[in-house]
A and B are shown apart, each in its own frame.
Chain A
Amino acid sequence: MQPRVTAPCLTIEAGSRVSARDDQTDVERVLAGDISAFEGIVRRWQGPLINLAYRFCHDRGRAEELAQEAFLRAYRALGQWRKDAVFSTWLFALATNLYRSELRRIPARTASVSLDDIAEPADARASDGGLEDHDRDLAVRRAVGALPAKYREALMLFYFHDMDVTTAARSLGLPEGTLKARLFRGREILRSKLPQRLAVPRLKEA
């Protein structure tokens, strides 16, 4: 199945508002012994959890394995969910923690690129005032992939959660201030490595 370009974060945001009550009901049913109620949770959150895993590993098969393990751990730890945060926040924090530790244990098979290897073209404004969008996007994504893990994960979670600092910080188990500092530093590194690509206004969009 080919990846399709959409905005998963919008789905998550809408989903989290709609499903908060459903999540709570299903959790209560599972804790009361009705295992089949867990299927509702799986069906609601399978997309976001797989996509989050995919951002970590860029491997569809592994993303599903990681998401499955995340659901299993969530099932085991369901009784530990304190209702001070919505269920989805707890689930994302659990999944993020799992994905980070699993990726540390067995790194993603994608070829790791050093930040220094991401070179600027000789003339970044070669055609119609800027590079093609595709090249630019690819370069930015490669540069993000080459960032040190703490900056990469901060950026990844921030954009995954539709630029919501609070949710991203909770998913990573960090104070908001720390997350903001990492986002700032991560962007600084990106800007320093891709100055022409990121600093040139794209006239054709204006």
Chain B
Amino acid sequence: MGRLIGRSIRRLIGDEEIDRVLSREDEILPSSGFAVSVMDAVRREAAAPPPIPFPWKRALPGLVVAGFALALVLIAIVVAIARRASTTPQFSMTLPSVMPPIFHGGIESAAIWTALALLVAFVSVKFSMRLASGRG
């Protein structure tokens, strides 16, 4: 009991000391030109043109195309995985019959994908050139 009281007293004294030391900190005064310097920065900030908002309207077609391309890639990955699984004996899936013809392997499929990629690239380039020339 005595030890507990002793510890409490020690803690109180410790807190008192910490309070005393840390309440008394050095204070610095601002430089004479500080407020002027801040106001200069504020005026520069106010004079600067407002930030250009992101051109969502112009970017929408590109985003739609990108989303479509991403969806195609995901479908292709899923089909590839399904096809690989169907080659193993325990998963004899017949996915190819329900998928569009472009997903049937071979040269035809590769050609279609290549053509599609070229088309997307062409549209992207044309679109970005239109934007850059300010005719969008």
Q: How far is the CA of A64 from the CA of B19 in the complex (A)?
A: 27
- A46–B42 alpha-carbon span in the complex (Å): 14
Contacts of B22 in A (CB 8 A): 140-141, 144, 155, 159
Give the size of the chain A interface in residues (CB under 8 angstroms): 48
CA distance A1 to B29 in the complex (A): 8
Is A112 interfacial (CB 8 A cutoff)?
A: no
Q: Answer yes or no: A72 CB below 8 A from chain B CBs.
A: yes
Binds A, one of B31-39, B75-83, B112-120, B121-129: B31-39
Contact between chains at B46 and A35 (CB < 8 Å): yes
CA distance A199 to B29 in the complex (A): 34
Task: Return chain A residues, CB-CB under 8 Å to B10.
Answer: 191, 199
Chain B residues touching A, majority SS: helix
Give chain B interface residues in 21-63, CB to chain A under 8 Å: 21-31, 34-35, 37-39, 41-43, 45-46
**A1 and B28: CB pair below 8 A?**
yes
Counting residue pairs across A and B whose Cβ atoms lie within 8 Å, the total is: 111
For the residues of A in contact with B, the DSSP-based class is: helix
* CB-contact partner of B29 in A5, A9, A47, A200, under 8 A: A47
Contacts of A191 in B (CB 8 A): 10-11, 14
**A71 contacts B28, CB within 8 Å?**
no
Q: Which of chain B's residues 85-109 have a Cβ closer than 8 Å to chain A?
A: none
Given A46-B38, A71-B38, A187-B15: A35 and B27 interface contact (C-beta under 8 Å)? no
Q: Would you list the 8 A-B pairs with minimal beta carbon distance, nearest first?
A: A3-B26, A198-B14, A159-B22, A140-B21, A199-B10, A8-B27, A46-B30, A191-B14
Binding site for B on A (CB under 8 A): 1, 3-9, 35-36, 38-39, 42-43, 46-47, 50-51, 54-55, 60, 63-64, 67-68, 71-72, 75-76, 136-137, 140-141, 144, 155, 159-160, 162-163, 187, 190-191, 197-202
Residues of B within 8 A of A (CB): 10-11, 13-15, 17-19, 21-31, 34-35, 37-39, 41-43, 45-46
